[in-house]
Amino acid sequence: MAEIQVEEHASPIKTPKQLVIVVVLAFAVPIVLIVMLTQLVTGGGDTGKSNPGMSDEAIAKRIKPVGDVAVDPSQPAPAAAAPAAVQVAAAPAPGAAPAAAATADAGKGKAVFDSACTVCHTAGVAGAPKTGDKAAWAPRLKTGMDALYASSIKGKNAMPPKGGNMSLADADVKAAVDYMVGLVK
């Protein structure tokens, strides 16, 4: 019979010293490669003053505001805004016709509406009934004019007292309510 010859396995590592060197290199080489790769990706880690992008001037240029406010020194300083004066119409003479008084109140009501009420009531902001919208005003008119006056003067839901203009007299607020109600009748 023929003899079967088995070749023994031969390893390139023959001594324990070679084994230690291979194990150390198996850990060290990948670590060094990873560190070198991160340095390549991050720009080499040169974040000191030698990097021109990190100079004080370059940083100041990057964080500089987009615009500047320039004040002309030859112009006078702006005066503080004075509160808007509310025009008070003179009381009609005792013999004057009631129609003239109603026209004066309507003019005052429109002026107050234009200054304080139009912002919300023209667009219907926060549930405010739109000017001229009969369906929106109908339930409010059912409560009566006194209730409308009270909610306009004291505020209701999202509407602040006096439409947010606390300098208005109660009569001015009532005139504005009369003006808006007149637009839906």
For the stretch 135-169, pLDDT in tens is 888 888 888 888 888 888 888 887 888 888 888 88
pLDDT confidence of residue 1 = 62
Residues 6+ apart with CB under 8 A from 182: 106, 109
Q: How far is CA 163 from CA 46, 85, 120, 145, 179, in A?
A: 62, 16, 9, 17, 14
The reply to whether 38 and 103 lie within a common domain is no
Question: What's the CA gap between 139 and 128, in Å, rounded?
Answer: 13
178 and 112 belong to one structural domain: yes
Question: Is 143 inside a domain boundary?
Answer: yes
Same domain, 40 and 108: no
* Stretch 176-184: mean pLDDT: 85
104 within 8 A of 171, measured Cβ to Cβ: no
Q: Is residue 73 part of a domain?
A: no
pTM: 0.43
Determine, yes or no, domain membership for 64: no
Q: Residue 157: inside a domain, yes or no?
A: yes
CATH, residue 145 = 1.10.760.10
82: pLDDT strictly greater than 60 = no
Average pLDDT value for the chain: 78
Counted domains in the chain: 2
What's the domain range around 34? 14-44
Note whether 30 and 104 are same-domain residues.
no
Residue for token pair 């070198």:
36
